[in-house]
Structure 1
Amino acid sequence: MALTISDIAKLSDVSTATVSRVINSPEKVSESTRKKVMEVIKKHNYQPSGLAQSFRTKKSKTLALFIYDIDNPFYAKLIKELNKMAFDRDYTLIICDTENNKDRELEYINYINQNKIEGLIMTEGISTDHFNKLNNNMYLVCIDRDLDCELPYLRVTTNNRESVAKAIEYLVNLNHRKIAFVSGPKDVKTSIERKKGYLDIIKKYELPVGDDYIYQGDFKRESGSKALDYFLSLSELPSAIFCSNDLMAEGLLARALSLNIDIPNELSLIGFDGVSKALYKPLTTIKQDIHGIAETSINGLISMIEGGVKGNTVKEISGEFLIGETCRRLKSGEE
């Protein structure tokens, strides 16, 4: 049977109030008393009740995470990293699958306001003003997202624009000029930044690319498949396609395989995220530093909570360009 705080007090020959102070406010207890009580606690492997501690300290050590798409392998890996890091810092992480639905997000905001949630991490999504409904004492971190609210927050992001520009320039150096682009949802921050990176290189090299070479996707696998069907319907086919995430690239790759289109011999392909489980060959992609994103987010949020300091700050994490087997160099005049 597990020991109670009263048992620890008896074994230490002190009051229960003294044991409580040793656990929650050790600076208020003499060194000799603190050492005596801690020896008993360690000897009997006593674990204080987290719930009881939260009532005493008025701190729940509970965080919430708003997830855009829990089925996306990028977010699955991010959840795993964030949860482990929160646990290692003695915090509990609640996962809120918002599905980028405004009403669903508002329901979760109401839940957070009604419970002792100390900090909130939000992944990408469409910015709305309902985040102004959050309690004023809420500490916020946004991963790849801008908020339309008055609360200050830490924004953690991959260098999306620069990373995509590097990937498109890689294709240019492989002699590709007809480069198509599959975007994510039009109002999502990462989608906007990645499209800007694509357009930067199109403009830089004055490539013969019009609006018909940009397909509006939704970050889901099926839209990658539909994107390929769309590009195949054009009078001038692209020689290379950049997909704004790996899921869409996988969908496009699967559709190409079903149509007997050889990638990369007939079409070059690049994705974004670095989480692909490609069907038959490694995908050339931009790998996001998921560990670095999670570490920066958790450490930043807990530092704000424990330091009682808020402020608008941006932390940018570099992506890594990984060359797989889905791109090839065109011969001069081949395109």
Structure 2
Amino acid sequence: MSERRFCTSCGQPVDGMRFCTHCGAPVTTPPAAPPPTQPPPNPPSVQPPSTQPPTQPPPAPPSAAQHPASYPAGAEPPRGPARSGGRGRWIALGVLLVLLVGGGAFALGMLATGGDDEPSVDRSAVLETSGSPGPTSASSPSSQPPGAGSSDGSDDGDNAADGAARRAAERLSRLMASSAADKSDVVAAVGNLNSCVHVRAATTTLEDAADSRDALVTKVKRLDITALPAARTVVTRLATAWTASAKADRSFADYGHSLHRTAKGYKGHEAWRRAGVDHSTASHGPKRAAAKAWRPIARRFGLPVIAWDTL
């Protein structure tokens, strides 16, 4: 049985090899020992060298320059195996590259999705509540948005009062608009009486206008202006003016009834006509005062301004 052979450089087994496959060193054949003339009394046992690598780093493999004559002519020197240290470094670099690419992709995904899938939180509300030592009640001023009513409901009361004032102003505006429509009919009817044309129709128009004035006086006196104190003057002056206008309409209607045809034309009781003129003149002052007091209210609520001579 042949004896095992080991590399003299790195100690690896090299049985039947010309070059060490680990370090590339040429394998040398030790010279055969001459036969002993007589057997030694105690032949030492040959222990094969350990297959474990020596504790000290193995010597660097000889380069071609160091062993130029060790390779046969035409033979290519064997290539040593790749060092495990170099392969480990490449594996570590590959793992690091994968981690970097994965981390970059994760960061881009976080930026694209806003950072998480959780529902968005009102950060301003968090900042407001985080500074307070305890829970914030619903009535706390810091927890209410700007413009919200205070806890005592004063703003809500102001809004309700403003709404009631607007409704009162709109009802008053409609009453004055109705009076303006009657006024145009009254002016035309009085003109017909003075011209003695369409006497009966003019008389009927004046009687209807007087009834309409009386109804306006009743409505304006019943109007609730508690939320609109500025309209008190308007209501008072309108009631006085429309009462005078109703008297003037009836006086002119009585004058129309007194008109009769004579040989010289129509003739009527002038006293009724003069009474109508006097009552109409008496209504001018209150109408001017009502129109003046109404002007700022109309501007406040964006309502039409009424001229006094249309009331």
Q: State TM-score, norm by structure 2.
A: 0.22
Which has the higher relative contact order, 1 or 2, with Cα contacts under 8 A spaced 6 or more apart? 1
Query: Which structure's residues are more often strand, by fraction?
Result: 1
Q: State TM-score, norm by structure 1.
A: 0.21
Larger CA Rg, structure 1 vs 2? 2
Query: Which structure's residues are more often helix, by fraction?
Result: 2
